Every structure is written in C-alpha cells, then in structure tokens.
C-alpha cells in the first residue's frame, strides 16, 4: 500500500469539499472493500476522507417512505424494527450478505459503492478492462461461472456482488445524492451502469458527489416476500444468482409483484408489475 493522507471532516459539506480538492481522494466508511482494493494495488487514493462519523445513519419514516442514511450499518438496518416491519425483504437480503462481522462494519452507501469481486479484476497480473481500461477482459476466455448473463459486453462480464441492492431494486428505492449545490434523487435501478465500452465506470455518481441516503416507499409487501440466494456455501459467499421476490395479494388476486435478480450482471435485473 502507498502512503496517503487521512482526514475526518465533521460535516457532509466539508467531506464533499475535501473530495473536490484532491482528484484521487476517496471516501472511506467501514472500509470492508476499499481496504482490500488498496492492499491489492487496484486503487491508490492520495487522500482518504473518513465519513464514518457523519450524522448520516438515521433510519426513519417520513410520510409514505422510509429514509435510511448512507452511514447506517448493514447489521443495524437488517435488525431495525421499522425495517423488519415495513421492509422485511430488505432485512432478509441484508442478512444473506457476507458475514456478521462484515455486516457490523459495512455501510449502506459502501455496499452500493463496492466493486466487483471478479477474480480477474483482483489479479493485477492479468488484463482487466474494469481495472485498466483498454487492456482486455481475461474472464471472457477464462473461468466465468460467476459472471454476467445479462447486460454484459465484449469489454466486461463482471457482476455487482451486493445482496442489499437486489432488494432495493425490487422495492423501487431512490438514491439521495449530495454535492456542493444540494441534493438530487436517482431511481435505484439507474444508479449502477452496464459495462458497455466503459466498464471501469461502475455507477452514475458524478465527480464531487456522495451518497447521503436511500428512500424506499412504503408498500404492501410485508406478508409475501422472499430473498433467495444460490451460492456454493451457506455463509460468506457471493451469489451465483439471487432473487428478491415480493407479492401483494388482495382477495386471492395478485395486484402487484416485484422481482429482481442479482449475481447476473453489473446492474440488478428488476421487473415490477402492478
């Protein structure tokens, strides 16, 4: 690992200002993915901006939606009474992710921002367009059992590894994004990008922006829901494929259904039918 500067701003504005001042700066919260990337030499930020103590960990209901702060821990969200009561699908998906130790460190925003776990991406001796644009994709002719089957390109077949994101896509979540001018909202299904010709760009977060929260509308999916994850072992394993399913049944008739798939592409594949 290279040497780097470390700062801990006290406000969201100060964190955004610090990000804009240093082109290679990166935010760090739980560090469950970023530290690995630095150890492997995949990323080398000159400055780490610690946002773990910013007041962005609240979980609350506001009108007809639930707001979850970007700094809320995965374990806290999964075990929160409001989430378990109103968004049980999200709780179930979070509990399927990683291990208890990692869930106790990982944040909601960090979960979204984590990079692919493709073995070729982590092996810096091999070509990878996501790591080094234009170098090639080793996975195309390599061992690709855990790679994309939807939305891939001839430049990259890596997948996004999150479980949480699959549930958020199914539940019509919205990402709250802040910069020095204020906030904007982006539908969750539009946050992550397909690889196309620029697989090194994982999402639609602009330079100088940070995730400050997630908003999930209230729904009627509190009885009929399931997050299913197919993986090689029962814990601490990424999905070969996962499915978040939720159904609203009224008088024995399905009035609304949500399906989202993970482990199959760089974006979550979602189908919502009302």
Q: Which residues are bridge partners to 156 per DSSP?
A: 153
Distances (CA, A) of 231 to 65, 145, 150, 227, 237: 32, 12, 18, 13, 6
Q: Which residue has the higher pLDDT, 22 or 195?
A: 195
List, for residues 205-239, the tens digit of each pLDDT value. Answer: 999 999 999 999 999 999 999 999 999 998 889 99
Residue at 131 is within a domain: yes
Does 9 fall in a domain? no
Would you say residue 221 lies in a domain?
A: yes
Residue 212: inside a domain: yes
**CB-facing half-sphere around the CA of 272: CA atoms within 13 A:** 12
Number of domains the chain contains: 1
CA distance 124 to 227: 34
Beta strand 5-7 with 241-250: parallel, antiparallel or unpaired?
unpaired
Q: Which CA distances in Å does 91 have to 11, 120, 176?
A: 29, 31, 20
Q: Could you give the count of Cα atoms lying within 13 Å of 156 in the half-sphere of its Cβ?
A: 30
- Per-residue pLDDT, averaged over 181-190, amounts to 97
Q: Give the pLDDT confidence score for residue 236 in this predicted structure.
A: 87
Distance CA 48, CA 5 (A): 6
- 244 part of a folded domain: yes
Query: Rounded to two decimals, what is the model's pTM?
Result: 0.96
- Do the Cβ atoms of 142 and 120 come closer than 8 Å? yes
> Left, alpha or beta for 234 (phi > 0: left; psi -120 to 50: alpha)?
alpha
How big is the chain, counted in residues? 274
pLDDT of residue 234: 87
User: Would you say residue 81 lies in a domain?
Assistant: yes
Q: What CA–CA distance (Å, rounded) separates 90 from 64?
A: 17
- Residue 47: inside a domain, yes or no? no
Average pLDDT, the chain: 96
Q: With bands split at pLDDT 50, 70 and 90, how would you rate the model's confidence at 1?
A: low
What is the span of the domain harbouring residue 196?
A: 55-273
236-271 pLDDT tens trace: 899 999 999 999 999 999 999 999 999 999 999 887
CATH of the domain at 89: 3.30.465.10
Asked if residue 198 belongs to a domain, the reply is yes
Instruction: Give the closest residue to 245 by CA, choosing from 148, 149, 170, 138.
Output: 170
């Amino acid at each position: 690992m290279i040497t780097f500067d470390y700062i801990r701003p006290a406000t969201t504005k100060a964190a955004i200002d610090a990000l804009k001042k240093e082109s290679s700066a990166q935010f760090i919260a739980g560090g469950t993915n970023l530290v690995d990337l630095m150890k492997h030499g995949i990323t080398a930020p000159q400055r780490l901006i610690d946002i773990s103590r910013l007041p962005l960990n609240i979980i609350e209901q506001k009108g007809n939606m639930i707001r979850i702060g970007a700094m809320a821990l995965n374990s806290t969200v999964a075990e929160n009474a409001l989430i378990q009561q109103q968004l049980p699908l999200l709780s179930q998906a979070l509990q399927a992710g990683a291990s208890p130790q990692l869930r106790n460190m990982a944040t909601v925003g960090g979960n979204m921002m984590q990079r692919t776990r493709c073995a070729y991406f982590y092996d810096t001796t091999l070509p990878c367009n996501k790591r080094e644009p234009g170098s090639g994709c080793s996975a195309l002719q390599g061992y690709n059992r855990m790679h994309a089957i939807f939305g891939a390109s001839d430049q990259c077949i890596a997948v996004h590894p999150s479980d949480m994101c699959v549930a958020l896509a199914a539940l019509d979540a919205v990402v709250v994004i802040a910069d020095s001018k204020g906030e904007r909202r982006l539908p969750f299904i539009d946050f992550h990008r397909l690889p196309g010709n620029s697989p090194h760009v994982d999402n639609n977060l602009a330079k100088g922006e940070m995730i400050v929260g997630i908003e999930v509308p209230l729904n009627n999916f509190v009885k009929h829901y399931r997050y299913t994850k197919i993986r090689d072992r029962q814990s601490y394993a990424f999905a070969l494929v996962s499915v978040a399913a939720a159904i609203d049944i009224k008088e024995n008739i399905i009035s609304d259904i949500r399906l989202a798939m993970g482990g199959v592409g760089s974006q979550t594949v979602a189908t919502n039918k009302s």
